[in-house]
C-alpha cells in the first residue's frame, strides 16, 4: 500500500443513462452494498434500496439525468439514517433482530450463483473483498459515507457534499480520515 497522503479521489467521468430504468440498473448493486455495509443487514439494505428507487422515480424522474446520481445517494443516506433511528427506538423496547437475512427459506436463494464458476477467483477476491467490507463497516458513519461516495461511486466533492448534507471541507476531512483508517486496517491485504 502506498504511503502518500489521502487526497480526494479524482472525479470519474460517468455517462448517465438517459432513462431512469437504465440509471437504476447502474446504481442498484452499489447502492445495495453501501446500505448493507452501513446497516449490516441484508433485508434492511434491500428495503432501503427499494424505497430509494421508488422515491427517486416518483419524485425526480423528470429531473435532468445528471441530477439523479447525487439525488439517489442523498435519498439512500436519509433512508439509512431512518433505519438507524428506527433501530434505536426498537432497541429501547427490546426488539431483537437477526443480523442476517430473515427469509432464509426463500426459493430465490436457491438460484445458481453467477460467480460460482470460478472458485479460485472467488476465494482470492472474497478474502480481500470481505476484509475491505469489514474495514468499511467499522468506520464511523460520516467517514464511511465520504469514502463510499468519493472513492467507490466516484462522485465529485461538490456532489458528495450535497449527498452528505455537509460542506466540501467536511467531505475532505472525513475522506482523509477514512483513507488513513483503511490503510491501517488493510495493510495486510494491500501492503
Partner 1 sequence: MTDTERELARALREEEHLLPAATLHRLAGARARALSAPQPSLLSRLMAPAMGALVLASALGVAVLMPGQQDAQTVQGSQQGDNPELYRDLDFYLWLAESDMGRHG
Interface ranges with partner 1 (CB under 8 A): 1-2, 4, 6-7, 9-10, 20-21, 24-25, 28-30, 32-33, 42, 46, 49-50, 53-54, 56-59, 62, 74, 78, 81, 85, 106, 108-115, 122, 125-126, 128-129, 132-133, 151-152, 154, 165-166, 179, 182-183, 186, 190
Name the minimum Å distance from CB 106 to partner 1: 7
Name the minimum Å distance from CB 3 to partner 1: 9
Contacts of 3 (CB under 8 A, 6+ apart): 183
Kindly tell me the burial class for residue 23, based on how many C-beta atoms sit within 10 Å of its own C-beta (0-12, 13-18, 19 or more). Answer: buried
Residue placing its CB nearer to partner 1 in the complex, 28 or 168 = 28
Residue placing its CB nearer to partner 1 in the complex, 5 or 96 = 5
Contacts of 70 (CB under 8 A, 6+ apart): 155, 159, 162, 163
CA dist 15 → 4, 20, 22, 65 (Å): 30, 13, 11, 10
The CA dihedral of 42, 43, 49, 51, to the nearest 10 degrees, is -160
DSSP-derived secondary structure letter, 161: H
Name the minimum Å distance from CB 43 to partner 1: 9
Residue placing its CB nearer to partner 1 in the complex, 1 or 95 = 1
Name the minimum Å distance from CB 62 to partner 1: 8
Residue placing its CB nearer to partner 1 in the complex, 94 or 109 = 109
Residue placing its CB nearer to partner 1 in the complex, 93 or 187 = 187
Name the minimum Å distance from CB 11 to partner 1: 9
Phi-psi region of 165 (alpha: psi -120 to 50; beta: other; left: phi over 0): left
**Residue ranges in 63-105 assigned as alpha helix (H):** 65-92
Amino acid at each position: 500500500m502506498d504511503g502518500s497522503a489521502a487526497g480526494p479521489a479524482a472525479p470519474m467521468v460517468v455517462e448517465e443513462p438517459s432513462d431512469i430504468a437504465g440509471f437504476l440498473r447502474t446504481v442498484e448493486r452499489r447502492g445495495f452494498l453501501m446500505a448493507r455495509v452501513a446497516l449490516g443487514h441484508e433485508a434492511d439494505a434491500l428495503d432501503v434500496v427499494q424505497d430509494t428507487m421508488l422515491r427517486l422515480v416518483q419524485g425526480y424522474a423528470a429531473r435532468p439525468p445528471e441530477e439523479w446520481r447525487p439525488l439517489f445517494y442523498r435519498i439512500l443516506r436519509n433512508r439509512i439514517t431512518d433505519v438507524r433511528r428506527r433501530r434505536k427506538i426498537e432497541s429501547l423496547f427490546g426488539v431483537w433482530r437477526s443480523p442476517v437475512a430473515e427469509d432464509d427459506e426463500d426459493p430465490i436463494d436457491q438460484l445458481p450463483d453467477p460467480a460460482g464458476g470460478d472458485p479460485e477467483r472467488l476465494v482470492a477476491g472474497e478474502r480481500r473483498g470481505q476484509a475491505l467490507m469489514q474495514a468499511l463497516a467499522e468506520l464511523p458513519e460520516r467517514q464511511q459515507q465520504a469514502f463510499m461516495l468519493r472513492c467507490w461511486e466516484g462522485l465529485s466533492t461538490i456532489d458528495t457534499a450535497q449527498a452528505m448534507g455537509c460542506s466540501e471541507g467536511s467531505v475532505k476531512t472525513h475522506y482523509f480520515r477514512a483513507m488513513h483508517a483503511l490503510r491501517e486496517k488493510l495493510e495486510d491485504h494491500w501492503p
